[in-house]
Each structure stands twice: as C-alpha cells, then as structure tokens.
Structure 1
C-alpha cells in the first residue's frame, strides 16, 4: 500500500500546485486519501450536491460542466492527470457548482471533507495553499470568458486547444495529444459541431494538428499559437 501511495504521490508532484506544497501537507493529503474508480459516463458529483472533499485525477479524465433545463450541455473543461477538483465548496460550504463526469475509465485520489476540515481547523495557514488552487481555476475562467467574448471562431478554437495542451495553466499535465471529441470541443467554445469540424480541418490541412476519432494531436505549437493570435499565414 505504501509503495502505491508513493507512486501516486510522485505522479501528483508532476504538476505545480501539489509540488509547491510543504512536505507535511503532501504527506497529509496522500495518507488520508483513498482511491476511487469511475467507469465512462459515471458521475463523480452533480451540481447542487454537498461537498464530499477533494479529488485528484490519476488516470482518465473528468468532464466539468453543467446541463441546462433544455438538456444542452455547457462544458467548461476536461481535466486529466493530475488535476484537482472540488476546492470551491471547501471554501464557501455551498453545494457543488457544476457536474463532474468520467470521460473514460477514470482513477481518482479522494481526500474526504472531514479530513480536510480537521487539517484546516488545526493548521489554518494551509488555507492559503488551497486558495492558490482556486486562484488558478479563477484565472482560467477569466481567460476563457475573455476568449469567448473577444475572439473570432478560428482563434477561439486554437486558443482553447493551446489551453488544454498546456494543462490549463498548470492544473494538469501538459500534453500534445488531446483525447477530446469534436462535440466536446464545440461545447467548450460555444460553436456548432459543423463549424468546429471545419476549423479543425483547416488546421489539419496546414499540418498544425492531426485528427483521429476522439483525439486531436498538436503537431506545431508555434503555428497553433500564431493561429490563436490571428497571425497565421494561410
């Protein structure tokens, strides 16, 4: 059991937030955690539910979003290893603000709410560490809102691909191969699937990305960055 915990701890330390914690806090989170496995489509938590603690993605991915009364999905992010989720309700004590659903078979590390409250009651200085995690997510939300408001469709798609590939500013590990359906990407950038598909095809024709079913591989980060700025020569 100890070797498994150490293995997962080493994985968690590949991303900035967990790596920046004190040794004592990292020890506490790992030692009080348990493993949870979700199958594809299984819901970790729903909007409106009470908090049950923090989760870190160790394998697979979680789709974070909401579903309107008309059944339309608003997808905010798809978070893979080693993103943490659930910190907002830890701060305000209010119900979950969104849904978290497994995109594929997903392994999670779960730190229960009671263990977190015990820690923060006895060592209040650790609140700052969790505030930094929430600040990362807040910055990401601002960046996404700005892109949705100001950028034309082609730049919006390129910008979101860069954000995902970069690990959402350090929330999870960087990646060049993005396991994401075009429907999901379309929901993220508020475009139709047809428009999103055409924009991706344009990037593919310029050898900036490669497309497979449920997967987008970035081949040229520099040119994708130029596309996100509207500076790409076609």
Structure 2
C-alpha cells in the first residue's frame, strides 16, 4: 500500500524529474509544469503499485528504490520481466486510452515514486508537441529491448540468456567497485529463476559455471561482475 510522504516541494519534485532521461532535456517551463502535476508516494518493499486500481492511468518515475515488473500465468507461475532502478519512468504506455496490459508493478525495495496522471501529462505534451518525439524515441528503444529479449529467449542458450540478463542488470544497477561491477540490489536465486523462467536449481548451476569461469563472483544474494567484457561477449553470442 502506498503511503503519502511529507509533501515534497515543487523544487524537489522538479530536481527528481530532471534526473529521468525522458525529461532531462525538457525546457524549464515544461519541466515546472510536470513537477506541478507530480505526486510523491512511498511504497514499502513488496507493495504493489496499482493494487487498488489496476487500470489507473498514471505513469511514474522512480525517485529512489526499485520496481519489479512481472506477469503471472493462468497456472500461477510468475515471470519477472525486469527490475528497474532510480530515475526510470514506467507505465508510460498508460498514456494510451485503451486498457493497459496488466503487468504487475511492485516495489522491489523501499521506494519513492513520482506519479504522473496521464491526462495531465498528455496535456503538457500536446502544448509542446516536439516533446512527443522524446516519448516516441523512448518507446522505440523499449520496443527494441523487447524484441532482443524475445530473440534471446527463442534463440539463445540458457547460459547466454543469464549473461544477457546480468549485463542488463549491471547497466541499470551496477556500481563500480574494487572487485568489479557490483549489482546494487539483492538477487535471490528464486528471483533470477523468475526472470529467466527456470528453476532455482538451474540458476544455481548457471551461476556456479559463470563463477568458475571467472566472469562473476557470488556472495549470498549479491553478484559482482568480475569480467564485464567477457560477459558482454557471452551475452551477444547465439550458439
């Protein structure tokens, strides 16, 4: 369940929105308008974002924390599409008036989100139509990511898919450290299995193989990428 924070000032909302790549180059006037419609909400770890209104027409920017995007099968199996971190905008497809696909958005850790009502966001975009170009480019990039993910699922080996997923997670959550690139979030093997659509046992075997090859180091639920170049090469390969 969302909990309203102390009211963020207009300047605090504006600063947080400026960090989002979609809005980074917006003119000051339009960014100020955007901050005016934004609403800050706090979500504890595990809380579902649209729990009370699955079709609510709001996008949101992750000000802090992280959000898991998933879907469930009719048989009850959960498939995690991604875990997104600070400054990313999600659910922007809800700008469309058609009912959205029912992805489940949930706080992966304690998170603060800036909610953007889609009708008000569309009005800002309509008043400065060139800004729709940024939305179109973002959606094209995400469509490309979806096609690549589908390609990997159909053509890639399980090892290649694991490598590609770790590369993506490092791009979003990676922090450079003395031992390599540390993935700045907890990644239980059950979570990795849900992201790949495989069992925990398969994940354990894959991680052991990558660790023995010197590509990663695993410490409890934390992963460090020790050889990013080789992991990139493995991620791009299709056997």
What's the TM-score bracket when you normalise by the shorter of the two chains?
Answer: 0.7 to 0.9
Residue deviations 1:39-59 (CA, integer Å, cap 9, x gap): 111100269822331101121
Q: What secondary structure, in the 3-state scheme, does the structure 1 residue paired with 2:76 have?
A: coil
Q: When the two structures are aligned, how many residues end up with a matched partner?
A: 223
Q: Is the CA contact 2:48–2:107 (under 8 Å) kept in the aligned structure 1? A: yes
Q: Secondary structure at the match of 1:61?
A: strand
Partner of 2:75: 70
Normalised by the size of structure 2, how large is the TM-score? 0.82
**What residue in structure 1 maps to residue 89 of structure 2?**
84
TM-score between both structures, scaled by the size of structure 1 = 0.84
Work out the CA distance in 2 between the residues paired with 1:217 and 1:51: 37
Matching residue within 148, 156, 161 for 2:161? 156
CA RMSD of aligned residues (A): 2.5
Question: Matched residues in 2 for 1:212 and 1:107: separation?
Answer: 28
Give the Cα–Cα distance (whole angstroms) in 2 for the partners of residues 20 and 207 of structure 1. Answer: 40
1:7 Cα deviation from its structure 2 partner: 4.2
Instruction: Supply the distance in 2 between the matched residues of 1:157 and 1:84 (Cα, whole angstroms).
Output: 25
Indicate yes or no: 2:7 matched with 1:8. Answer: no
Q: Which moved more, 1:180-189 or 1:157-166?
A: 180-189
Matched residue, 2:3: none
Q: Aligned partners of 1:130, 1:148: CA distance in 2, in Å?
A: 27
* Larger helix share, 1 or 2: 1
- What is the CA distance between 1:144 and its match in structure 2? 0.5
Partners of 1:21 and 1:129 within 8 A in 2: no
Correspondent of 2:140 among 135, 144, 147: 135
1:21/1:218 Cα in 2 relative to 1: closer, same or farther (>3 Å)?
A: farther
The alpha-carbon distance between structure 1 residues 47 and 126, as it changes in their structure 2 partners (threshold 3 A), is: farther
Secondary structure of 2:68's counterpart equals: strand
Runs of 4+ in 1 over 4 A off after TM superposition: none
In the alignment, the residues of structure 2 paired with residue 88 and residue 57 of structure 1 have an alpha-carbon distance, to the nearest angstrom, of 16
- Of 206, 209, 215, 2:213 maps to 206
Q: Could you tell me how far apart the structure 1 residues matched to 2:102 and 2:27 are?
A: 29
Match of residue 220 from structure 1: 227
Give the deviation of 1:212 after TM superposition: 2.7
1:112 pairs, out of 114, 117, 125, with: 117
Give the corresponding residue for 1:166: 171
Partner residue, 1:183: 190
In structure 2, list runs of 5 or more residues that go unmatched.
1-8, 176-180
Q: Which runs of 5+ in 1 are unaligned?
A: 168-172
Give the corresponding residue for 1:44: 49
